[in-house]
Amino acid sequence: MNLFKYASPQPFFPLAGKLIPWFAVGAAIFIIVGLYIGLLVAPTDFQQGDSYRIIYIHVPAAWFSMFLYIVMAGYAILGLTFNAKLSYMLAKSIAPTGAMFTFVALITGAFWGKPTWGAWWVWDARLTSELILLFLYIGYMSLQAAIDDTRRSDRASAVLAIVGVINVPIIYFSVKWWNTLHQGSSINTSGSSMAAIMLQAMLVMAIGFWFYSAAVIFARVRREIEDRARNTAWINEVKE
């Protein structure tokens, strides 16, 4: 099977249409199971009580806010390097989902921070760098919308995405580089400090978020392909 043939919009369009329902079903199953384990099966934390349960949304959302930005920047690099139209379209389609996960991470972090730190927001290094990530996503989408010429908007936003990726390691290592209120990672190369059932719930939710991201990004990139190829014969043939 030659996967490289799907690197152009025409063959990718029907493939994405076939995969979206599977990703959507996978997202629903894993998110429901993850919430069930996290909210009903996992034990109450001896320090934070039940308020800690928001981590089953907060932590996977934070993971994906960073992961999707890296993927977006990767597609931006491919677009600039090979002038690959599909790469530009995928990068553009990732941005709203990445921004959504970043917003969710910040909001759930605030609800977690209030009972834990006594404040909805502090100018903590990790919180501040995560907020900057949201601004980068918004800046990317704003730049796309501000430039009418598709080629120019693709290239300009790609440059912003690539430059902004430096913020991702800053977010990740901020708790090590600076003295912050935000706790360090409970999962690292030496293992996990949390109970196995808690880790299981978090990973199941992360898989659910991956399926969700794939479903909505593929749906969005199909719309983008339709918009850009609306004057071509093949798009009408595929849609019939």
Taking only the tens place, the pLDDT of each residue in 125-156 is 889 999 999 999 999 999 999 999 999 999 99
For 136-200, the three-class secondary structure string (H helix, E strand, C coil) is HHHHHHHHHHHCCCHHHHHHHHHHHHHHHCCHHHHHHHHHHHCCCCCCCCCEECCEECCCHHHHH
Question: Tell me, what amino acid is at 196?
Answer: A
Burial (CB count within 10 angstroms: exposed 0-12, middle 13-18, buried 19+), residue 101:
buried
**Helix, strand, coil abundance in the chain, percent, nearest 5:** 80, 0, 20
pLDDT score of 189: 43
Lowest average pLDDT, out of 28-32, 42-46, 103-107, 138-142, goes to 42-46
Structure tokens at 42: 């996992």
- pTM for the predicted model, two decimal places: 0.92
The DSSP code sequence of 92-126 is HHHHHHHHHHHHHHHHHHHHHHHHHHSSS----HH
* DSSP-derived 3-state class of residue 11: helix
* DSSP letter, residue 43: P
Record the tokens describing residue 195, joined without a space. 């109970």
pLDDT digits (tens, 9 = 90+) for 97-134: 999 999 999 999 999 888 877 888 888 888 999 999 99
Q: Which among 43, 182, 185 has a CA at the least distance from the CA of 110?
A: 182
